[in-house]
Amino acid sequence: MHWDRFSRVILASGILALVAGNPAAGQSDRGAIGGTVEDSSGGIIAGATVSATGADTGIVYRATTTSAGAYRMPNMQIGAYNVSVSADGFKTEEKTGVVVQINTTASLDFTLQPGDVKETVTVVANVPTLQAQTSDVGTVVATRQILELPLAVNATGQSYLRSPETFVFLTPGTAGPGTADSSSGIFQAKLAGGQNFGNEVVLDGASTARADSGSAFDQTAPSVEALDEFKVITSTIPAQFGRTTGGVESFTTKSGTNRFHGTAYDLFRNEALDAKSWFSDLVGSSYFAPKPLDRKNDYGGTLGGPVWIPKVYNGHDRTFFFFSWEQYRQTLGSANISTIPTAAERLGDFSSLLGPALLDNEAPPKPIINPCDGTPILQGQIFDPSTTKTVNGVQCRTPFPGNKITTLSNVAQKIMALLPQPTNPGYLNNFLYVTSNPILDTAMSVRIDENLSSKSKLFFSYNSRDQEALASSPTLPNPLDSNYFHSFFTHYARVGWDYFISPTTLNHLNVGFNRIYSNSIATSVNGTDWDAAIGLTGAHGVTFPPISFAYGHQNLSGYGSPNADADVPNSLVLADSVSWTKGPHSLSFGVDVRAYQFSVIDQSHQSPSIGFDFAQTAGEPDYSGPGLTGDPFASFLLGAVQSWSLAVRSEQPRFVSNYYAGYVQDDFKARKNLMLNFGLRYEVETPRHEATGAESVFSPTALNPGAIGPSGPLPGALIFGGSGPGRSGSAAIGAKTYHKDFAPRIGFSYAPQSSSSWLRNTVIRGGYAIYYAPLAYGDFGQALTDGFTASPSGSQGFVPALLLDSGIPPYPPPPSFDPAQDNGGFGGGFGGPTYLAPSYGRPGMVHNWSFEIQRELAPDLILDVGYVGSHGSHLRSLLGQINALDPKYFALGNTLNTLVTDPSSPVAAPFTNFVSLYGGGATVAQALRPFPQYQNIDSDCCLENLGHSNYNALLAKVERRFHNGLNLLASYTVSKTLTDADSALPAFAGFSGGGYGQNPYNLKGEKSLSYQDIPQTSVLSYLYELPAGPGKRFGNHGGV
Q: What is the pLDDT of residues 272-299, one digit of tens each?
A: 777 766 655 554 555 555 666 678 899 9
Confidence tier at 487 by pLDDT (50, 70, 90): very high
Give pTM, 2 decimals.
0.90
Cα separation of 98 and 107, whole Å? 10
Asked if residue 979 has pLDDT above 70, the reply is yes
Asked if residue 5 has pLDDT above 90, the reply is no
Between 147 and 540, the more confident residue is: 540
What mean pLDDT do residues 711-715 have? 97
Supply the pLDDT for residue 117. Answer: 74
Q: What is the four-CA torsion angle of 920, 926, 928, 933, rounded to 10 degrees?
A: -110
**DSSP type of residue 888:** G
Among the ranges given (51-55, 109-113, 153-157, 265-269), the one the predictor scored with the smallest mean pLDDT: 153-157
Supply the pLDDT for residue 994. Answer: 62
Beta strands in 945-997 (DSSP E): 947-963, 966-979
Between 924 and 997, the more confident residue is: 924
Asked if residue 755 has pLDDT above 70, the reply is no
Supply the pLDDT for residue 1030. Answer: 73
Amino acid at the residue 887 = P
Domain 28-133 superfamily per CATH: Carboxypeptidase-like, regulatory domain (2.60.40.1120)
Q: What is the pLDDT of residues 161-215, one digit of tens each?
A: 998 888 899 999 998 877 765 555 677 888 999 999 999 999 999 999 998 888 8
Q: Are the beta carbons of 239 and 89 closer than 8 angstroms? A: no
Supply the pLDDT for residue 818. Answer: 96
Q: What are phi and psi of 677, to 5 degrees?
A: -115, 120
Cα separation of 740 and 736, whole Å? 12
Confidence tier at 829 by pLDDT (50, 70, 90): low
Supply the pLDDT for residue 9. Answer: 40
> Closest Cα partner for 934 from 907, 903, 910, 900?
910
Q: Are the beta carbons of 761 and 578 closer than 8 angstroms? A: no
CB neighbours (10 Å) of residue 725?
A: 5
Asked if residue 915 has pLDDT above 60, the reply is yes
> Closest Cα partner for 473 from 433, 518, 440, 423?
433
Q: What is the pLDDT of residues 354-399, one digit of tens each?
A: 999 999 988 899 999 999 999 999 999 999 999 999 999 999 999 9
249 Cβ neighbours under 8 A, 6+ residues apart: 165, 168, 191, 199, 200, 201, 202, 215, 217, 230, 231, 232
Confidence tier at 995 by pLDDT (50, 70, 90): low
Q: What is the four-CA torsion angle of 635, 637, 639, 643, rounded to 10 degrees?
A: 40
For 96-238, where are the alpha helices, taking DSSP H only? 143-148
Cα separation of 147 and 155, whole Å? 17
Supply the pLDDT for residue 492. Answer: 97
Q: Within 13 Å, how many C-alpha atoms sit on residue 378's CB side?
A: 18
Question: Cα 639 to the chain's mean position, in Å?
Answer: 42
User: Considering the chain, what percentage of its residues have pLDDT values greater than 70?
Assistant: 92
Q: What is the pLDDT of residues 94-104, one digit of tens each?
A: 999 999 999 89
Supply the pLDDT for residue 288. Answer: 55
**DSSP type of residue 20:** T
Supply the pLDDT for residue 922. Answer: 96
Confidence tier at 10 by pLDDT (50, 70, 90): very low
> Closest Cα partner for 908 from 891, 894, 926?
926
Q: What is the pLDDT of residues 601-626, one digit of tens each?
A: 999 999 999 999 999 999 999 999 99
Among the ranges given (143-157, 698-712, 889-903), the one the predictor scored with the smallest mean pLDDT: 143-157
Supply the pLDDT for residue 14. Answer: 39
What mean pLDDT do residues 86-108 have? 91
Cα separation of 409 and 414, whole Å? 9
Q: What is the pLDDT of residues 860-910, one digit of tens each?
A: 889 999 999 999 999 999 999 999 999 999 999 999 999 999 999 999 999
Supply the pLDDT for residue 1. Answer: 41
Write down the domain spans for the chain.
28-133, 887-927
Among the ranges given (44-53, 211-220, 236-245, 407-416), the one the predictor scored with the smallest mean pLDDT: 211-220
Asked if residue 859 has pLDDT above 70, the reply is yes
> Closest Cα partner for 771 from 708, 707, 680?
680
Asked if residue 951 has pLDDT above 60, the reply is yes
Cα separation of 931 and 918, whole Å? 14
Q: What is the pLDDT of residues 558-607, one digit of tens each?
A: 999 999 999 999 999 999 999 999 999 999 999 999 999 999 999 999 99
Q: How far is CA 586 from CA 39, 501, 508, 678, in A?
A: 22, 15, 15, 10
Supply the pLDDT for residue 479. Answer: 96
For 759-762, the CB contacts below 8 A with 24+ separation are 761/130, 761/855, 761/856, 762/130, 762/853, 762/854, 762/855, 762/856
